[in-house]
């Protein structure tokens, strides 16, 4: 890599670029270095984007040892199962760019909603990018769905991943920050990463049998963008489970529901047909149904 992400350069700390088993690639004083990860270290396990502590005697060694993880400002987490134990994926990012396709694989609003919750509760901004709009799809249905997210206040972009126009629009959206690209396999994350960074990542096709993309990126990696900022290209998923969280935290993951809930008659309203609920009719039916589905997995 020829450039260091702004956040990395500003801290002048060792920052995790990529984790691979018991080792990691780090940015140390503007250079990439390989390091060993100490098992069961404080704040760990380390993930891409973490600021980490090196054993002092190893600071200038060829293969230093990471002995601890600094407190995170933000974190993108998933559950091993619905409502399961949280597992960190990326740390200290500013923005989650949730990618979906207009077709091939089919767009999943449920997946988008779960990523939006993960971004909100993890302290990051979020945006939705829909690719493959050059493929046959129901334009009216797509516009209606994306209108729901625009009305909430999320930035929404559409385009074709391989075309420079979409990369330029996403680069403007990132605006020198660190952004996580997340979503289904086969929606163009690696293609867009190449357009943003110039770095080639494996690009795969969509499985005809499953109707979803094949995994091509196996590990999150922080990749700087020319001119500032960075992207973290994450592994494509078929599903994304949220970790366990209480109802108040889940509600905060739906900002329009949290805002409407201030008008509920009773404190602790679950927005599930309760008397005096101010949420029903104030938010989209689709988003309220999504909230209720996720809430059911947390009980």
Same domain, 214 and 79: yes
Secondary structure E strands in 148-280: 156-158, 178-183, 221-224, 230-233
Q: How confident is the model at residue 290 (pLDDT cuts 50, 70, 90)?
A: very high
Same domain, 122 and 196: yes
In this structure, is residue 214 part of a structural domain?
A: yes
Same domain, 79 and 20: no
Contact between 37 and 66 under an 8 Å Cβ cutoff? The reply is: yes
Q: How confident is the model at residue 30 (pLDDT cuts 50, 70, 90)?
A: confident
Same domain, 44 and 142: no
CATH of the domain at 269: 1.10.40.50
Same domain, 184 and 294: no
For 7-58, give the DSSP string.
HHHHHTSEEEEEEETTEEEEEETTEEEEEEEPTT-TT-S--BT-EEEE-GGG
pLDDT reading at 144 higher than 60: yes
Same domain, 16 and 123: no
Where in the sequence is the domain holding 24, given as residue range(s)?
A: 6-69
Same domain, 122 and 205: yes
What is the rounded average pLDDT for all residues in the chain?
A: 88
Contact between 287 and 250 under an 8 Å Cβ cutoff? The reply is: no
CATH of the domain at 29: 2.40.50.140
Dist CA 267 CA 16 (whole Å): 42
- Count of H-run helices and E-run strands, the chain: 8, 13
- Pick the range with the lowest mean pLDDT from 123-132, 161-170, 212-221, 261-270: 212-221
In this structure, is residue 239 part of a structural domain?
A: no
In this structure, is residue 64 part of a structural domain?
A: yes
In this structure, is residue 241 part of a structural domain?
A: no
pLDDT reading at 7 higher than 70: no
The pLDDT value given to residue 58:
56
Q: How confident is the model at residue 268 (pLDDT cuts 50, 70, 90)?
A: confident
Dist CA 288 CA 280 (whole Å): 8
Residues in the chain: 299
The pLDDT value given to residue 214:
40
Same domain, 84 and 155: yes
Contact between 217 and 235 under an 8 Å Cβ cutoff? The reply is: yes
> Of 17, 47, 69, at which residue does a domain stop?
69
pLDDT, tens digit, 9 for 90 and up, residues 56-109: 665 556 678 899 999 999 999 999 888 789 999 999 999 999 999 999 999 999
The pLDDT value given to residue 267:
86
Contact between 126 and 96 under an 8 Å Cβ cutoff? The reply is: yes
CATH of the domain at 144: 3.40.50.300
In this structure, is residue 266 part of a structural domain?
A: yes
Same domain, 29 and 123: no
> Of 52, 69, 86, at which residue does a domain stop?
69
Contact between 245 and 237 under an 8 Å Cβ cutoff? The reply is: no
The pLDDT value given to residue 218:
65
pLDDT reading at 8 higher than 60: no
For 68-105, give the DSSP string.
EEPPPS-EEEEESSTTB-EEEEEES-SEEEEEEESSSS
The pLDDT value given to residue 208:
43
pLDDT reading at 24 higher than 60: yes
Same domain, 268 and 156: no
Number of structural domains in the chain? 3
pLDDT, tens digit, 9 for 90 and up, residues 199-249: 876 444 443 443 444 444 468 999 999 999 999 999 888 789 999 999 999
In this structure, is residue 213 part of a structural domain?
A: yes
Dist CA 125 CA 18 (whole Å): 22
User: Reduced to 3 states, what is the DSSP secondary structure of residue 144?
Assistant: helix
> Of 206, 233, 260, at which residue does a domain stop?
233
**Strand partners of residue 178:** 230
In this structure, is residue 113 part of a structural domain?
A: yes
Same domain, 129 and 57: no
In this structure, is residue 202 part of a structural domain?
A: yes
pLDDT reading at 3 higher than 50: no
pLDDT reading at 265 higher than 50: yes
Same domain, 14 and 118: no
């Amino acid at each position: 890599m020829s450039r260091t992400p702004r956040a990395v350069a500003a801290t002048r700390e060792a920052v995790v670029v990529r984790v691979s088993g018991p080792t990691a690639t780090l940015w140390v004083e503007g250079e990439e270095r390989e390091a060993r990860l100490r098992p069961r270290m404080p704040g760990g396990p380390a993930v891409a984007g973490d600021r980490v502590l090196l054993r002092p005697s190893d600071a200038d060694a060829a293969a230093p040892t990471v002995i601890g993880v600094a407190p995170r400002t933000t974190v993108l987490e998933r559950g091993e199962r619905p409502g399961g134990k949280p597992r960190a994926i990326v740390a200290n990012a500013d923005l989650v760019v949730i990618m979906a396709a207009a077709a091939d694989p089919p767009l999943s609003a449920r997946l988008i909603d779960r990523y939006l919750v993960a971004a909100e509760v993890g302290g990051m901004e979020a945006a939705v990018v829909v690719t493959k709009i050059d493929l046959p799809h129901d334009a009216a249905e797509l516009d209606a769905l994306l209108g729901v997210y625009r009305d909430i206040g999320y930035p929404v972009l559409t385009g074709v991943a391989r075309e420079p126009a979409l990369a330029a629009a996403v680069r403007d959206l990132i605006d020198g920050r660190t952004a996580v690209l997340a979503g289904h396999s086969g929606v163009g994350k690696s293609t867009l990463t190449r357009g943003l960074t110039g770095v080639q990542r494996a690009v795969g096709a969509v499985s005809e049998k499953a109707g979803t993309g094949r995994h091509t990126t196996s590990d999150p990696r922080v990749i700087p963008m020319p001119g500032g900022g960075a992207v973290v290209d994450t592994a494509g998923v078929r599903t994304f489970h949220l970790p366990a969280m209480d109802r108040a935290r889940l509600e905060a993951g739906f900002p329009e529901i949290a805002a409407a809930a201030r008008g509920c008659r009773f404190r602790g309203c679950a927005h599930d047909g309760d008397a005096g609920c101010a949420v029903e009719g104030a938010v989209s039916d689709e988003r309220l149904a999504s909230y209720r589905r996720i809430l059911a997995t947390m009980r």
